[in-house]
Structure 1
Amino acid sequence: MRETGRRQRAGKTLDILQTIFDLIDMRSFSNLWYWIALAVTWSTASHYVLGVPFDLIVRARRKGGPVAEDMLMLASVNVRRILSIGREAGVTLTLVASFLLSLIVVLGFVFRMEFAQAVALIVVPLSGVGLLSLRTAARLEKVLAADPEVETVARILIRHRVSVQAVGMCAICVTALWGMFQNLQLSPLG
């Protein structure tokens, strides 16, 4: 008698656990870690403006002096680094990135691989941010070549940050809508 009761309780526990695991499966768009990675990616992309931390930009505008010199130095170093990569390996990077982005998009949206869709919804907008960064770096190179004013450099960096945030907000919205669509489409309840 006792053995039968234990088996029934164990069976109910397994049914409840199975139901929970069916509702919270570990696919990309229903995985909490994916959404954490998405949030960290876009917050990092908007915090480090061409490699210059946003708090340094704000302090440089407010305080000036050595903090402003640090911001100008860091911006100058990162602009030269970004542009040298673009000039030396730009064609190769463009070809490789185009191939990889095309591969990910085709795997995700033509062959319907959910993991490739999830990766594509992060890296495609980030490639746009890379192009924006290259354009902003070219603009900053001209400003930094002359005697740069802190306010001018800070304004360009902040404008770039707003552009990155706009791309990030659109990317997060599209990813959230696509993820909800995927989860509703594949839901065991539907």
Structure 2
Amino acid sequence: MENKKVFKFVKASAILLAGLLFAGAASAQTKVAVVNIQAAIMSTEKATSKINALKTSSEYSQLQNGAESIRAEMQKLAEDAQKNGVTWSEEKKAEQQRKINFKRSDFETTVKKLRAMEGQAVQELQKELLPKAKTALEEVIKEQKLDLVLDASAAVYAGKSANLTEELVKRLNAGK
């Protein structure tokens, strides 16, 4: 009988101790936040200015105008083939399709050049601003005494107060 009383006492003590530990852990809340560093960098005044400068540059504008021109030519060739194709010989149809394919290839090449220019500008921005963003983020983490900061893309939900991206943009714009 005495063993049963000791076992019940130990069991009750363990349950009480577990409850106290859980209550203590619950009261010491973990402070968690999210951030999208890439979005913060691309939302800065510097990034906006650099992207606008790229898109208004003569080389970029020429490529963009060239892409639009090629697209219009492809559309005209396709419309002509659709409208008049029934009366064309097989050779004429094949020639028209070859012209469309050449134009499509030219269009794709031009678009690749545009994307490459944009990608290069983004890489330059990342290279320049990423160290500053990391430093600014470390300051925010210390100031807000955060325990955990996740990439925003990993979060299912984060309230506005838990998202550090806007604060990071402000600090990068201010040059902190």
Q: TM-score range by the shorter chain?
A: 0.3 to 0.5
Larger Rg: 2
TM-score (norm 2): 0.34
